[in-house]
Amino acid sequence: MERTTSNECCIVFVANRGYGLTSSRTNLIRRFLASNWTVVIATADDAESRSLVDMGARFEPVVFNRGGLSLVADIRCYTRLHSILRKYRPTLVHHFNAKPVLFGSLAARQVLGGQVKVVNTITGLGHAFTAGGLSAKIAALGYRFAIPRSDLTVFQNRDDRALFLERNWVSETAARLVAGSGVDIDRFIPVDRSGRDSDAPVVVMIGRLLRQKGIPEFVEVASNIRRRRPGTRFLLAGEEEPRHPDAVSVEWLGEQPDVEFVGRLADVVPILQQADLFLFPSYYREGVPRAVLEASATGLPTIGFDVPGVRESVRDGETGYLVEDRDLAAMTARVDELLGDSRLRLELGDNARMLAEESFDLRAIEKQYFDLYRGLGLEVSA
């Protein structure tokens, strides 16, 4: 069986799927490889994961059942993580997403005890916490037992950090705040939106096809607006999640006359550059929604609900608007206001770009992570 030798440093990155690593953590992986670390990615077998193998990472496929409890699948996943940790005996394990955090933290301590540093990133609390009931109770129990077994827990927004501290799931000394996953501001560049046809504005949303991501709300706002402004186009891009308990079907979307569903896009830059306004009616309990950061970097104002995660990425009245959770009348009014005032829309978009540059630049986020790693006594070159 292949193992790293005792004088090698090894890191295992664990995430639900490859996109969770390629979207904003590619440079973390590249820098560990440049520092002669063995880098292992434990995630879904998809195109994004395989692209990291081309960089030099080792790939260990793991199937995480997303969206709820599945006893058989979850036990199989936990056992698989055990096997990977025994094989590589890493110096550091970094988990992203809920189930990797829960299962990975427990497995790491069971297999390696105090010989491994464990870092978790809470990328949002998602479906379980928003849905409440049994799912929320099970998730809470998992965090209660798993989080104290990590060396550091990184939160992407203040609300999640405050919740974990309040419930004594994490100590002050082990809690860190890193605002989101960052955005490549050199790739998501602003475009000149002045002089566009004011009678045919484009409103865009990007998000997985889940109810809690705000898909039905997007459809309703689109219908409300198009009764007043029939030339407005509402474009929705996102990935299907047919097995998720909160899924919205493509068939249902196809029946909605006021929304154009364009599917999952390999590159969202063109649709964001085409847009005049970004609408994000998610109440999913985001970490910091990457889609909003990307929209901001292209100079788009965002309208969203005043909920955890979203309120970290939108400054009300400066880079867009926040409205009360699930208040669709208020959301419709704000959309109508910005579609009718191109000057204000452009001003808020310029402010959004400046916020992305000042607070969410991917390079600054990466530096914060490497500072955290070094604080644990790990050596990684700049």
Give pLDDT, residue 382: 57
The span from the CA of 233 to the CA of 258, in Å, is 8
Assign domain 202-359 one CATH number from 3.40.50.410, 3.30.1360.120, 3.40.50.2000, 3.40.50.300.
3.40.50.2000
CATH topology (fold) of 10-182+361-375: Rossmann fold (3.40.50)
Give pLDDT, residue 338: 98
Rounding to the nearest 10 degrees, give the CA dihedral for residues 58, 61, 65, 66.
Answer: 40
The span from the CA of 55 to the CA of 212, in Å, is 35
Residues of the chain with CATH 3.40.50.2000: 10-182+361-375, 202-359
Give pLDDT, residue 6: 43
Give pLDDT, residue 3: 46
Q: With beta carbons less than 8 A apart as the criterion, state whether 338 and 345 touch.
A: yes
Give pLDDT, residue 376: 94
Encode the chain (382 residues) as per-residue pLDDT tens digits.
Answer: 444 444 579 999 999 989 889 888 998 999 999 999 999 999 999 989 999 999 999 999 999 886 666 778 889 999 999 999 999 999 999 999 989 999 999 999 999 999 999 999 999 887 667 667 777 888 889 899 999 999 999 999 999 999 999 999 999 999 999 998 899 999 999 999 998 888 999 999 999 999 999 999 999 999 999 999 999 999 999 999 888 888 999 999 999 999 999 999 989 999 999 999 999 999 998 899 999 999 999 999 999 999 999 999 999 999 999 999 999 999 999 999 999 999 999 999 999 999 999 999 999 999 999 999 999 999 876 5
Residue 188 — left, alpha, or beta (φ > 0 → left; ψ -120 to 50 → alpha)?
Answer: beta
Give pLDDT, residue 131: 67
Give CA separation, 157 vs 86, 201, 281, in Å. 33, 32, 18
- Amino acid code (one letter) for 84: I
Helices (H), the chain: 19-22, 26-34, 47-55, 71-88, 98-112, 126-131, 133-146, 158-166, 215-228, 250-254, 269-274, 290-297, 310-313, 328-339, 342-359, 362-375
pTM above 0.95, yes or no: no
